[in-house]
Amino acid sequence: MLKLLRLVAFAALLVSGAAARADEPRYDLGGLHHEDWFLMSLLVLGEDHADAAAAGKRLAIVWEQKGCPYCRDMHDKHLKDPRIAGFVRQHFAVLQLDLRGDRMVTDFDGQVLSEKELARKYRVNLTPTIQFLPDSAFDLKGKRVADVEVARMPGLLNPEHFLAMFEFVQGRHYEKPMDFDGYLATRPK
């Protein structure tokens, strides 16, 4: 009987421990914070772009690195807000790349580079950085992504401006003679 009680107590401890860990940050194998709804990718950017377009979404690349406190805040605060996460999930396919990573990525021009080499090519040097790509693959042909991205979020904005950047891109406000600061000034509060 004592053995059975110990077993039940151990099982209860495991269950309570698992429940307590459910709210803890999730990490991918490289140690980056991770969202379950981020793209599962073979790291062929042209295919990711086409898949996002077929789903009626825009491709956004989020660059992070292990140990980045701002990346942690983005996941723990911004992306835990249902309003922000819901909007991003509805309108964007988000591909997470590691600023210092060694995974091999096939760029839109067919060049195969490590994540860190691609970060240099795209002129990404801080985290988090989010690159928003054109919705048409035609806009990417033969061009450097850093030259054709429609917007870039270098660093972590406060939650309201973070959401506003995604709205700015989704609403195609970058096509108007207005930059992001102008959009913020005219955006309803």
**Gap between the Cα atoms of 97 and 133, Å rounded:** 15
pLDDT value for 13: 34
pLDDT value for 132: 96
pLDDT value for 139: 63
Low-confidence ranges of the chain (pLDDT < 70): 1-30, 137-144, 146
- Nearest 5°: CA angle at 154, between 152 and 159? 95
- Regarding beta strands 129-132 and 58-64, do their DSSP bridges make them parallel or antiparallel, or are they unpaired? antiparallel
Model's pTM, two decimal places?
0.82
Q: Which domains does the chain have, with CATH numbers?
A: 45-186 (3.40.30.10)
Q: Which helix (H) or strand (E) holds 97?
A: strand 92-98
**Residue 79 CA: distances (Å) to CA of 71, 72, 89:** 10, 10, 10
pLDDT value for 34: 85
pLDDT value for 189: 72
Structure tokens that stand for 129 in this block: 């950085």
Q: What is the pLDDT of residues 32-62, one digit of tens each?
A: 888 999 999 999 999 999 999 999 999 999 9
